[in-house]
Amino acid sequence: MKPIPVPIHIIVAVDQEWGIGKRNSLAWYLPEDLAHFRKITTTVRDKNKINAVLMGRKTWESLPEKSQPLPQRLNIVVTHNKDYKFPEGVIPVDDIASVLSLLPDNIESLFVIGGAQIYHLALSQLPIESIFITKVFATFGCDTFFPQVDAQFTKKDESSILTAKNGPQYQFVRYSKT
């Protein structure tokens, strides 16, 4: 079996019902989590490398236009639409399994950033090392959900419970494969 070229992680924010979105957008605005997301997905040990983010087309479309592509990261988007036009530097793929063979040598880690279908595929088809979860202690009537973390992952560390400037409490938790 060919070795996995880079560590693969999932990063996600969930509400108390494991909801991740509503009508193809985030169901809440939590600047502290956005800063955490940016820090986790852009931090590298080797300054000659960058991280890659893997997302589905709907997640891509939900990004603010000014954030397309997400800066300081290689953006990879899963889409079956061969005619979809992405900005220069974005790599479109038609299936999640082909991602690992397309990663350039300057990639340190791959982060799966959504949406729900991509999370499900990643958990079943990719060797995920860890899951970074922001748990938001509120419910938002989400229509899209993250799967429950199963027994192959154990909680490795967590922050204290924090309170956002705009209200809800939240916590950063990291699960790793056992």
How far, in Å, CA of 159 to CA of 117, rounded? 28
Percent of the residues in the chain that have a pLDDT greater than 70, as a whole number:
98
DSSP 147: P
Nearest to 174 by CA among 147, 144, 140, 134: 134
**Mean per-residue pLDDT, 147-176:** 90
Domain ranges of the chain: 8-170
Residues 6+ apart with CB under 8 A from 86: 60, 69, 77, 92
Query: What CATH architecture is 8-170?
Result: 3-Layer(aba) Sandwich (3.40)
> For 106-135, how does the pLDDT look when each residue is reduced to its tens digit (9 = 90+)?
999 999 999 999 999 999 999 999 999 999
How far, in Å, CA of 29 to CA of 120, rounded? 24
| Residue 73 clears pLDDT 90, i.e. is over it | yes
pTM reported for the whole predicted model? 0.94
